[in-house]
Amino acid sequence: MTSKTLTLADCRAMDASDPLAKLRDQFDLPADVIYLDGNSLGAMPRSSARRAQDVITQEWGVGLIRSWNTAGWFDMPRKLGNKLARLVGGNDNEVVVTDTTSTNLFKVMAAALRLQKDKAPQRRVIVSERNNFPTDLYITQGLMDLLSSLGSADYELRLVDGVEGLEAALTEDVAVVLLTHVNYQTGYMYDMADITAKVHKVGAVTVWDLCHSAGAVPIDLNGANADYAVGCTYKYLNGGPGSPAFLWVHPRHQESFWQPLSGWWGHARPFAMESQYDPHQGVKRYLCGTQAITSLALVENGLDTFADTNMEELREKSLKLTSLFIDLVHQECAGFPLTLNTPLDTKYRGSQVGFEHPHGFAVVQALIERGVIPDYREPSIMRFGFTPLYIGFEDVWNAVAVLKEILQSNSWDQPKFHQRGTVT
Ligand X SMILES: *Cc1c(COP(=O)(O)O)cnc(C)c1O
| Residue ranges at the known binding site | 101-102, 133-136, 180, 209, 212, 234, 264, 290
Q: What is the dihedral of CA 279, 284, 285, 289, to 10 degrees?
A: -90
Q: What kind and span of H or E run contains 125?
A: strand 125-129
- How far is Cα 174 from Cα 156, in angstroms, rounded to an integer? 9
> Does 209 help bind ligand X (rule: CB under 6 A)?
yes
The set of residues, in sequence order, having a beta carbon less than 8 Å from that of 406 and lying 6+ positions away, is: 363, 366, 367, 370, 412
> Does 305 help bind ligand X (rule: CB under 6 A)?
no
Burial category of 358 from C-beta neighbours within 10 Å (exposed 0-12, middle 13-18, buried 19 and up) = exposed
**Which residue's CB is nearer to ligand X, number 180 or number 196?**
180
Active-site residue 317, yes or no? no
Active-site residue 133, yes or no? yes
The count of residues interacting with ligand X (CB under 6 A) is 13
CB hemisphere CA count around 218 (13 angstroms): 16
> Does 352 help bind ligand X (rule: CB under 6 A)?
no
Instruction: Determine the interface stretch with ligand X among 197-205, 207-215, 337-345, 346-354 (rule: CB under 6 A).
Output: 207-215
Q: Which of 337, 340, 335, 328 is nearest to 398 (CA)?
A: 328
Letters for 226-265 (x = contact with ligand X by CB under 6 A, - = none) are: ------x------------x--------------------
Least CB distance from residue 182 to ligand X, whole Å? 8
- How far is Cα 372 from Cα 124, in angstroms, rounded to an integer? 47
In terms of phi and psi (left: phi > 0; alpha: psi -120 to 50; beta: otherwise), the region of 215 is left
Active-site residue 347, yes or no? no
Instruction: Determine the interface stretch with ligand X among 114-122, 129-137, 190-198, 214-222 (rule: CB under 6 A).
Output: 129-137
Please pick, from the candidates 47, 82, 93, 100, the single residue that binds ligand X as defined by CB under 6 A.
Answer: 100
Burial category of 33 from C-beta neighbours within 10 Å (exposed 0-12, middle 13-18, buried 19 and up) = middle
**Which residue's CB is nearer to ligand X, number 55 or number 207?**
207
> Does 184 help bind ligand X (rule: CB under 6 A)?
yes
Catalytic residues: 133, 209, 234-235, 383
- Residues near ligand X, by CB under 6 A: 100-102, 133, 135-136, 180, 184, 209, 211-212, 232, 245
